[in-house]
Amino acid sequence: MTTRCGFVALIGEPNAGKSTLLNQMVGAKVSIVTHKVQTTRARIRGVALEGESQLVFVDTPGLFQPRRRLDRAMVAAAWGGAADADLVVLLIEAHRGLTPGVRAILDALGERTDGQRVALAINKIDRVKSDVLLTLTKEMNEAYPFTETFMISAEKGYGVEDLRSWLAAEVPEGPWHYPEDQIADLPLRMIAAEMTREKLTLRLHQELPYQLTVETENWEERKDGSARVDQMIYVARDGHKGIILGKKGETIKAISQASRAELEEFLGRKVHLFLQVKVRPNWLEEAERYSEMGLNFKDGNS
């Protein structure tokens, strides 16, 4: 029996649907999905099994024009994830087509990827008519020599099986990197922090999207099988702290309940979650915060 195993990088603009596709591929929620751009900071790896193949997905932050240190570190992580992979999948949105952002990615693909095969996945195909899809497919393949093109809807699952089967056949022969029951190689502390950050992002909408980060400071296994998890939410300003706490602490209570429920479902056991908020005006310039997110602080240097 010949086993195969390989790393697959999902790249694309922010909000193209990379995290949704990763979760479909793996069959579990390992990457946070929100309607906000740039929610994926670290290179989260999800692991999927397809026949005798193990696919290790590197879910990269969206590629965009960076303005701040955090942006630059995220973009460097995205290209780093692509360069380290065996196969690259570029995800674009059917209804948005060949945007300036996609053109910029295509221009960089040749020099940034080291001769890897790149597949094109046109996502959200349910939003456009078939003639639009055909034109877009032709346009994209004239702009870059893609190995294969797939039409998918990551949200509804259309075409995902075909893409996964193709990837499984294309990854190199070799032993599996991870145990059969492991779906992500992020430490639980980081997955838990990401879950809370997702709840904050969904709840607060436009108010504080990227001015906060969450760290799991303590994880204690209890004798009764439950876990006590203490998390710190770092914000840049005093006013932000008030927004997160909410009137009479209602906002943080709702966020804590939602995060705890999802963590309990993920772990399959009881969790006692405690959240605190701390003002750190310069957290965006602290190397330690970056390493907690799986990013390289130096990559943010302009």
* One pLDDT digit (tens) per residue for the chain, 302 residues: 789 998 888 888 888 888 889 888 887 655 544 444 444 445 556 788 888 998 888 766 666 666 777 667 766 766 676 667 889 899 999 999 999 889 888 888 877 666 778 999 999 999 999 999 999 999 999 999 999 999 999 999 999 999 999 999 999 999 988 777 665 556 677 888 888 988 888 888 655 545 788 888 888 888 898 889 999 999 888 888 888 999 999 999 999 999 999 888 877 889 999 999 999 888 778 777 776 666 676 776 65
Q: CA-CA distances (angstroms) from residue 213 to 81, 188, 209, 267? A: 22, 16, 10, 22
Report d(CA 217, CA 231) in Å as an integer: 5
Report d(CA 239, CA 168) in Å as an integer: 49
Q: CA-CA distances (angstroms) from residue 71 to 52, 67, 103? A: 38, 6, 19
Place of tokens 């996964």: 164
pTM of the complete model: 0.64
Q: CA-CA distances (angstroms) from residue 294 to 156, 188, 274, 289? A: 30, 13, 23, 9
